[in-house]
Structure 1
């Protein structure tokens, strides 16, 4: 059974998976990530099966949706329904979910997008740029996806503006 273990400290297991699952351009530097956790703005949910760590979710409780900033499952547990159970639990707990994913330019990116679509996520049709996590780096063009919300332009504008303001400090 999959469950969440909230944490205010980024454990070595989370660090290892975070660095393996996301390229540097898509990761907030760890000291900044830890500071946001301590301030209470960012939440870290370690994903456990029994007592065993199998993944993590970094997320933000925003006005009327939860933004999943980073989500990863241990590669050993992938393909076994763990990710599906995690997203299902998140949706049951928080309702409306929003996340970023890569453009469908690679096989892995297309697989991730199909995973989210199979779970009821839809992609906003508007251009979305993820602000850089490091000064001097370029923004990344990503796909903003949602579950439980409308795909209308005004919803995209409201959601993306709140993410830019609250998550990226713009």
Structure 2
């Protein structure tokens, strides 16, 4: 699998990323095009696409903060799901850092959200007890209640407070 770091909205693979992004996340969990452009301007933001046989297999977008890495978005091409791509991408990503990875998922409301939680637990993530809502993106849809997952262990209340501060003041300002 080829890894491609996307650095702007004009990169060759960006249209494929954008299609997968839009079909994988509800509007309330998507950056506007302007917000995506602003994210690219931050040295903390990274978008890595994984390509297999000239097809976008999946991507991870993340923020590299001082004490942890926040995975903002992770998706696998729906035509390739169930073939181990997601697990392989996540395992490779986890092994490249010593930092705790933090991500958000939708609250468990149906079979699909339960399967998503099982997937992340299989990848070594822990469910955290912190009450959390993701600040809304630029579509005026408000906050999204979500679950917090982390690698290595559950994060403490103090670590959660730092995560939420970085989320609001760094990631969401771009």
| TM-score > 0.5, shorter chain as reference | yes
Say which of 49, 54, 58 aligns to 2:52. Answer: 49
Secondary structure at 1:67 match in 2: strand
Say which of 8, 16, 37 aligns to 1:34. Answer: 37
TM-score normalised according to structure 1 size: 0.91
Aligned-residue Cα RMSD (Å) equals 1.8
| 1:25 equivalenced with 2:55 (yes/no) | no
Would you say the 8 A contact 1:47–1:55 is kept in 2? yes
Q: How does 1:155-170 map to 2 (within 5 A)?
A: 155-169=159-173
Say which of 148, 151, 157 aligns to 1:147. Answer: 151
In structure 1, what is the equivalent of residue 109 of structure 2? 105
In structure 2, what is the equivalent of residue 6 of structure 1? 5
After alignment, is 152-161 or 10-19 more displaced?
152-161
Secondary structure at 1:19 match in 2: helix
User: 2 CA distance for matches of 1:90 and 1:37?
Assistant: 19
Secondary structure at 2:124 match in 1: coil
- Shift in Å, 1:160: 2.2
Would you say the 8 A contact 2:126–2:152 is kept in 1? no
Q: Which runs of 5+ in 2 are unaligned?
A: none
Q: Provide the aligned length of Structure 1 versus Structure 2.
A: 169
TM-score normalised according to structure 2 size: 0.89
